[in-house]
Amino acid sequence: MDAESIREYCLAKPGTTEEFPFDESTLVFKVMGKMFGLVSLTRMPLSLNLKCDPDRAEELRERYEAILPGYHMNKKHWNTIILEEDVNGKVLANLIDHSYELVVSKLTKKLKAELSQF
């Protein structure tokens, strides 16, 4: 997956928005205002930070060389995935889904109700 494919995949998820809150080169994806993914558009190779269940994060880091503790993030809850290495598109899509679902599961009842309208 390239940056545009990631962008399209993330934006297809209900309630997702994109913004550049940190700088002009870090694209952030949020669901109902809560961050679930970041893409560094200038770092090469391209990398993506995603939220992850801590136990699953450890397992993924052991299995894939391209999955590292989250760069500039809480390393217990975030992974950085280097996209030009050993993680294929299907695995990456699954990791994006997992990150999105983790964030949605922590939303307030009010935000979940709003999200259900999308």
* pLDDT tens per residue across span 72-103: 888 899 999 998 768 889 999 999 999 999 99
In a domain? residue 56: yes
In a domain? residue 118: no
In a domain? residue 17: yes
Q: How many domains does the chain have?
A: 1
Q: pTM for the whole thing?
A: 0.94
pLDDT tens column, 14-51: 999 999 999 999 999 999 999 999 998 988 899 999 99
In a domain? residue 22: yes
> With pLDDT > 90 as the criterion, what percentage of the chain qualifies?
79
* Helical H segments across the chain, by residue range: 3-11, 54-63, 89-105, 109-115
In a domain? residue 47: yes
- Structural domain that includes position 46: 3-112
Neighbours of 54 (CB within 10 A): 12
**What pLDDT is stored for residue 87 in this prediction?**
87
In a domain? residue 117: no
CATH code where residue 74 lies: 3.90.1150.30
In a domain? residue 79: yes
